[in-house]
Amino acid sequence: MKTMRVDGNVLRAMFENGLENIRCHEEEVNMLNVFPVPDGDTGTNMRLTLEGGLKSTKPAAEANLFLQSLSKGMLYSARGNSGVILSQFFNGLYLELSRCPTVSAAELRNACIRGYRSAYKAVVKPTEGTILTVTRLGIENIRAQIGRRTPVEDMLSMYLAEMKKTLTITPELLDVLKEEGVVDSGAIGYIYIVEGMLKYLYGEKIESSKKIKPASLPEGMSDAPGPMIDLDHFNENSVFVDGYCMEFILQMMKGKDYLKNFRLNKFINDMSDFGNSIVAIQDDMRVKVHIHTKKPAKVIETAQAYGEFITFKLENMQVMHNHRNTLKLKEENRKPMAVVAVVNGEGVKSTFRTLGCDAVIDAGPSMNVPARDFVDEYAGLNAETIVVLPDNKNTILAALQAEKLYAEEIGEDKMPKIVVLEAANIAEGYFAKAMENPNETDVEKRIAQMKSGIEGVSCLAMTRATKAFSNEHVNLSEGDGFVTLDDEVILGCPASDFENEWANTLIRGIVEIPDIADKEICVIFRGEGTTDDDEYILTDKIAEQFPLMDVAVFNGGQSLYSWIIGIA
């Protein structure tokens, strides 16, 4: 059944899917970019702009209320010319739909028309062959085909197809694209956003971790990035890199120290005397400005005649250009973050590598790792931050000691930041890595995600006693089986009964978890000596006792512990 109207909740889901789609293709869009490093790469700018807008929104069933918060958030999170143009396009969408609690295809058509017109107005000297052309012709060429009875899916499908068709002619409209054999990066970035929105309506939720082949390139065009070129000689309007890149938000003020009347066109004309690549957007009593200039003092003086700066950024583009060239080779393969896990068992090592760990240290049968092993792994990782997932509390101390030793070896100035998480077992390490989003660009957020994965995990482990032992819960003889819960021995199983009662003892251990009724996920690592039949016996008993529990089993092959069970 086709969609005739969409509300705020559906629009949010559509835009989130669009964000995930451009995130999947971010590097591809960046590679198509022939514009400057000082302003950032187009794919990254567009992704951050839309991402910032979505983060600023609040749940709203009304389309107009959702779009209002999205538009304002994008205006203030816009980065570079591509981000500014995208934000102004979405501002046009909102202005056209400001009275619409739900949106039809015809209303969305009108909004896209107002969107591209707003985007054109935001650029002092609009350049054809860019995202501006694609958004304009994409909707103008199909506007007559969209009526009151057109489903939203059909409208977006026609819009997407026409934009892809227009994309093929952008190299003919802009010489710099034709010379480098690429299409406009901003245009294809916007196409990916719309493509993600349409896919949501057809039931396809995009996962950014999924590698997607760039199928959205027009037919007959190569998906290769083209010849290697010096991108640093261009900015987003093909201006040679020199002078300063200025971005600021100006709060207009009243009083004797300020001019009474502000006119955006006059302001832009005044700014044109001092620089180029000007984008100025007015939002009520605030103006967001981007300009490349060799006269920053003149720009500041002119702007302050109208008000005061809320935010201000000034970057020397030539210095940034030279600095980038100096560090390019050194930093080319440097990762923002790497993860080291300490584990035991070939199957466990394989599992943690699959989860995305950059290095896996084999703890061996003793499950204690010397500091030297950590130092060796640190030295082999080219990362700004190294996160360590220990397998027990003793390993934590060794990892911390290794940090000091490594700093002495290479010097504090070359030392990466090392974060040792307090994972007390492989179950906590597993949930920590599983909770991390590797596509998150903020390293601190990734670390926080891993820490949250450790919290609330209960870990059961079963093994045999190598000597007599007793506490308030059990009296064990050598050879008896026993179960630990978060490193505390809670249950015993006599050696004579172990063959028949081991599974029931583990179930009793799970029941002992204080908040077991709130737990939903069970991850089991099989140790050495366990069989497939043992696995079936245990999982059947868990399913019988906890029918709503999701269970995953890995053939870990760890020594000492026949079963390690993490429950969260």
Q: 3-class SS at 149?
A: coil
* CA triple 124-128-131, angle to 5 deg: 90
Alpha carbon separation from 372 to 251, 346, 405, 406, 568 (Å, rounded)? 57, 21, 8, 9, 33
Tell me the C-alpha distance between 294 and 243, whole Å. 5
pLDDT tens digits, 352-388:
988 889 999 888 765 567 777 888 888 888 899 999 9
Q: Name all contacts of 350-353 with Cβ < 8 Å and 24+ positions apart.
A: 351/430, 351/525, 351/554, 351/556, 352/389, 352/429, 352/430, 352/433
Distance, C-alpha 144 to centroid of its chain: 38
Q: 3-state secondary structure string, 309-333? A: EEEEEEEEHHHHHHHHHHHHHHHCC
pLDDT in tens, 510-538: 999 988 988 999 999 999 999 999 999 99
Could you tell me which of 150, 223, 442 has the C-alpha nearest to residue 142?
Answer: 150
Q: Does the domain made of 458-567 have the CATH classification 2.60.40?
A: no
pLDDT of amino acid 452:
92
Token pair recorded at residue 290: 């981007």
Please, which residues have CB within 8 angstroms of residue 256's CB and are 6 or more apart in sequence?
none
- Tokens representing 324? 């980038």
Asked if residue 104 lies in contact with residue 110, where contact means CB atoms within 8 angstroms, the answer is no
pLDDT at res. 263? 85
Is 0.85 surpassed by the pTM of this model?
no
CA-CA distance, 362 to 261, in Å (whole number)?
71
The first and second tokens of residue 560, run together, are 């000492």
Q: What is the pLDDT of residue 171?
A: 83
Question: Which pLDDT score, from 0 to 100, does residue 236 have?
Answer: 38
Residue 373 confidence (pLDDT): 80
Quote the crossing angle between the two packed helices 131-140 and 80-96, to the nearest 10°. 30
Res 216: pLDDT: 37
Q: What does the block give as tokens for 27?
A: 């590097």
Q: What is the pLDDT of residue 80?
A: 62
Residue pair 313/360 in contact (Cβ under 8 Å)? The answer is no
Nearest to 191 by CA among 147, 137, 125, 114: 137
Separation CA 256–CA 204 (nearest Å): 58
Q: What are the distances in angstroms from CA 140 to CA 115, 144, 300, 478? A: 12, 8, 39, 83
Which CATH architecture group holds 244-322?
A: 2-Layer Sandwich (3.30)
Chain centroid offset of residue 361 CA: 27
Cα-only R_g, the chain: 29
Full DSSP string of 240-286: -S-SEEEEEEEEE--STTS-S---HHHHHHHHHTTEEEEEEEEETTE
- Residue 28 contacts residue 59 (beta carbons within 8 Å): no
Q: What is the CATH number of domain 333-454?
A: 3.40.50.510
**Side by side, which strands form the sheet with 550-558?**
488-493, 481-485, 458-464, 563-567, 521-527, 550-558
Spatial neighbors of 184 by CB under 8 A, at least 6 apart, are: 32, 129, 130, 131, 133, 134, 167, 170, 174, 177
Say what the pLDDT of residue 225 is: 31
Which pLDDT does position 273 carry in this prediction? 87
CATH class of the domain defined by 5-208: mainly alpha
Could you tell me the two tokens for 239? Answer: 């201006």
Question: How many residues in total does the chain contain?
Answer: 568
58-96 burial: b if 16+ Cβ within 10 Å, else e:
eebeebbbbbbbbbbbbbbbbbbbbbbbbbbbbbbbbeb
For residue 376, the cross-strand partners are: none
CB 42 within 8 A of CB 26: no
Chain segment 111-146, per-residue pLDDT in tens: 999 999 998 987 767 888 889 999 999 999 999 999
Q: Are 449 and 553 in contact (CB under 8 A)?
A: no
**236 vs 184: CA distance, rounded Å:** 10
Mean pLDDT by 10 residues, the chain (568 residues): 93 95 89 47 84 88 94 76 84 93 96 94 80 94 93 95 90 73 84 95 80 36 31 34 78 79 85 84 82 88 88 74 50 81 91 90 72 82 92 76 79 89 91 88 93 92 88 90 92 94 96 91 94 94 92 90 94
3-state SS track over 51-117:
HHHHHCCCCCCCHHHHHHHHHHHHHHHCCHHHHHHHHHHHHHHHHHCCCCCCEEHHHHHHHHHHHHH
Residue 354: phi and psi, rounded to 5, are -65, -35
Spatial separation of the C-alpha atoms in residues 542 and 526, rounded to whole Å = 15
Task: Indicate the domain borders of the chain.
Answer: 5-208, 244-322, 333-454, 458-567
Cβ–Cβ < 8 Å for 247, 290: yes
Query: Can you name the residues that pair with 476 across neighbouring β-strands?
Result: 469
* Separation in Å, CA 280 to CA 135, 143, 274, 288, 289: 20, 29, 14, 6, 4
8, 15 in Cβ contact below 8 A?
A: no
Residue type, 120: Y
